[in-house]
């Protein structure tokens, strides 16, 4: 997949083709990019259930026709009763990654849809929630073909879900892992989405539906309660931003790792590298990643607990100091602690010039594995990233936001282009963003080539425990050997492997032309008209 699709009227990219098509249908009916993204977000929560759910969190960047960029933080907090004591009383010294005690943070993504709808209405958005959720409801009730990724991950992870109520009932119909192409349905989720379509996304947190959510959470043994839902709300935030040569880059505020994504590109920009795909390009980005991850691991958490505002870590003087620590010929010894995660990223742009960068996640594949019995919603395990050590950077405390690997990206280029891009993949997200952005915006590769080209991953992602430098076998062999010679612990992995993430991007040109790309490593597509 090397050719870059183009269009003028509207475009959506998603890691599942049905989600992209759902968003496109909204654009065709006169909806804006925000409305298209809500439709795509609802759809992908149904058709890509191993990767995301309405029981997870979400983050938005929205570029307005005026040039202003808005952020939406739809991150759920730990429950008011989620303290280290309940885990210690259960004989645990860490938070489990699966099961009811992993379902300890509020699912925030629906609140983000609601806040996005309110922004949309100020921009002329008019389509009702019922229309935006129409296709998601259809696929939940009537079914969708099981993908190879869903089958593979169900096979790999089913053994971890023994303590996850409801997992087998939904994901192992008849006690068996469904085959690729089997019809996968979730009628309970369809009915839940119908309730949301009628009463709006906020009904998940207030009112009759919220009472069912709280009762189901209690029934399965989660520490969350009705008050935790009622006290949750999404918030509009001013995105972090940094200047690099020829562009202003935007990303999400903490508790996400958006700071790291911006630092990587700002540091790389300072290295003065002029050619793509060689040792200098890849080594430079890897070493910039190390410097950014050191800051991230030391500083980034719930912003209420940070020592200073995240924007201060984008100060030119600090970035200069960090860039000076990068040796252009030698690798810094690694690893640092690695952070896993599973996610979807999607982008949408309309003819008005509204551009959306959106990311939605349940943390690990299948999240906690817990499925709410009356709702068909599987719940995230984002709170398993908390530490039970009270002195830790990300220590568990009631109503604290967990650290997030999620971070949607957006750029305004000096030539007038608006570039929305992102990926799933835990620690790989900032690295893949840097690879895609540098290839496309700094070195002039075509958009699809920038995503298809061989990638690398420093650290752990998508079920991987190793923390070495993984490179796809399609990378130039001379570059691989140069990386080894510089001291990188290189492992060569199969081409187009999932562990490198599922990236996507859309570029809006000043003349209205749209370019889009999707990752051949995913089940996605670009939908446009």
DSSP string across 176-189: SPPPTT-EE--HHH
- The pair phi, psi for residue 506, each rounded to 5°, is -140, 135
**How far is the CA of 335 from the CAs of 87, 292, 424, 466, in angstroms?**
29, 13, 21, 10
**How far is the CA of 464 from the CAs of 109, 267, 461, 497, 519, in angstroms?**
26, 27, 5, 12, 20
- Summary mean pLDDT of the chain: 95
Residue 151 falls inside a structural domain: yes
Q: Which residues are catalytic?
A: 343
Residue 275 falls inside a structural domain: no
- Listed in sequence order, the residues at least 6 apart from 19 whose beta carbon sits closer than 8 Å to its beta carbon are 12, 40, 41, 43, 44, 47, 48, 346, 524
Residue 378 falls inside a structural domain: yes
pLDDT at 335 over 90: no
Residue 112 falls inside a structural domain: yes
Strands of the sheet with 409-413, listed across from one edge: 6-7, 514-518, 504-508, 418-422, 409-413, 247-251, 240-244
Q: How far apart are CA 127 and CA 124, in angstroms?
A: 10
Residue 35 falls inside a structural domain: yes
pLDDT at 86 over 60: yes
Give the pLDDT confidence score for residue 235 in this predicted structure. 97
At 445-468, the pLDDT tens digits run 999 999 999 999 998 654 455 678
Residue 439 falls inside a structural domain: no
Percent of the chain with pLDDT over 90: 91
User: Are residues 110 and 375 in contact, defined by beta-carbon separation less than 8 angstroms?
Assistant: no
For residue 249, the 8-state DSSP code is E
pLDDT at 212 over 90: yes
Q: 56: closest CA among 304, 374, 379?
A: 379
pLDDT at 1 over 70: no
For residue 224, the 8-state DSSP code is -
Count of domains forming the chain: 1
Residue 426 falls inside a structural domain: no
76, containing H or E segment = none
Instruction: State the average pLDDT over residues 231-250.
Output: 97
**pTM score:** 0.95
Residue 127 falls inside a structural domain: yes
Q: How far apart are CA 179 and CA 169, in angstroms?
A: 16
Percent of the chain with pLDDT over 70: 97
Q: How far is CA 255 from the centre of its chain?
A: 13
Q: How far apart are CA 52 and CA 56, in angstroms?
A: 7
At 108-148, the pLDDT tens digits run 999 999 999 999 999 999 999 999 999 999 999 999 999 99
Full domain range(s) for residue 227 = 6-236+345-385
pLDDT at 156 over 90: yes
Q: 419: closest CA among 391, 404, 439?
A: 439
Question: Where are the extended beta strands (E) located within 315-408?
Answer: 342-350, 355-363
- Listed in sequence order, the residues at least 6 apart from 153 whose beta carbon sits closer than 8 Å to its beta carbon are 50, 365, 366
């Amino acid at each position: 997949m090397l050719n870059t699709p183009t269009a003028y009227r509207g475009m959506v990219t998603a890691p599942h083709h049905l989600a992209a098509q759902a968003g496109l249908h909204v654009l065709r009916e006169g909806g804006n990019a925000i409305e298209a993204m809500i439709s795509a977000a609802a759809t992908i929560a149904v058709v890509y259930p191993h990767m995301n759910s309405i029981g997870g969190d979400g983050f938005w960047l929205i570029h307005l026709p005026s040039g202003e960029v808005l952020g939406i933080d739809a991150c759920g907090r730990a429950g008011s009763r989620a303290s280290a004591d309940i885990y210690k009383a259960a004989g645990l010294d860490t938070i489990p990654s699966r099961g009811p005690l992993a379902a300890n943070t509020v699912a925030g993504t629906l609140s983000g849809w609601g806040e996005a709808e309110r922004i949309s209405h100020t921009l002329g958005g008019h389509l009702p929630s019922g229309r935006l959720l129409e296709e998601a409801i259809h696929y939940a009730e009537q079914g969708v073909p099981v993908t190879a990724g869903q089958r593979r991950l169900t096979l790999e992870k089913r053994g971890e879900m023994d303590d996850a109520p409801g997992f087998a009932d939904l994901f192992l119909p008849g006690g068996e892992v469904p085959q690729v192409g089997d019809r996968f349905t979730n009628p309970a989720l369809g009915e839940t989405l119908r309730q949301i379509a009628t009463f709006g996304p906020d009904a998940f947190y207030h009112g009759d539906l919220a009472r069912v959510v709280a009762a189901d959470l209690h029934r399965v043994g989660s520490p969350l309660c009705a008050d935790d839902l009622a006290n949750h709300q999404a918030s509009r935030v001013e995105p972090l931003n940094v200047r690099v040569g020829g562009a202003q880059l935007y990303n999400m505020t903490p508790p996400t790792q958006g700071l790291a994504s911006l630092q990587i590109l700002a540091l790389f920009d300072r290295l003065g590298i002029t050619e793509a795909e060689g040792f200098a390009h890849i080594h430079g980005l890897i070493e910039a990643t190390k410097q950014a991850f050191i800051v991230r691991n030391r500083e980034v958490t719930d912003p209420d607990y940070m020592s200073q505002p995240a924007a201060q870590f984008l100060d030119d003087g600090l970035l200069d100091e960090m860039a000076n620590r990068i040796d252009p010929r030698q690798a810094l010894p690694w690893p640092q602690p690695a952070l896993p995660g599973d996610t979807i990223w999607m982008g949408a742009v309309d003819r008005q010039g509204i551009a959306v960068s959106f990311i939605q996640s349940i943390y690990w594949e299948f999240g906690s594995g817990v499925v709410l019995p009356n709702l068909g919603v599987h719940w995230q395990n984002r709170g398993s990233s908390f530490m039970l050590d009270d002195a830790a950077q990300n220590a568990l405390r009631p109503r604290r936001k967990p650290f997030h690997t999620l971070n949607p990206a957006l750029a305004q280029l000096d030539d007038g282009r608006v570039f929305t891009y992102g990926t799933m993949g835990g620690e790989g997200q900032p690295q893949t963003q840097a690879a895609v952005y540098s290839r496309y915006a700094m070195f002039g590769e075509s958009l699809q080539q920038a995503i298809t080209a061989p990638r690398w991953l420093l650290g752990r992602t998508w079920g991987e425990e190793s923390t070495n430098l993984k490179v796809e076998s399609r990378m130039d062999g001379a570059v691989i050997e140069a990386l080894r010679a510089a001291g990188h612990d290189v492992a060569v992995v199969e081409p187009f492997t999932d562990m490198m993430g599922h990236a996507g991007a859309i570029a809006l040109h000043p003349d209205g032309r749209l370019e889009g790309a999707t990752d051949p490593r995913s089940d996605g597509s670009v939908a446009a008209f």
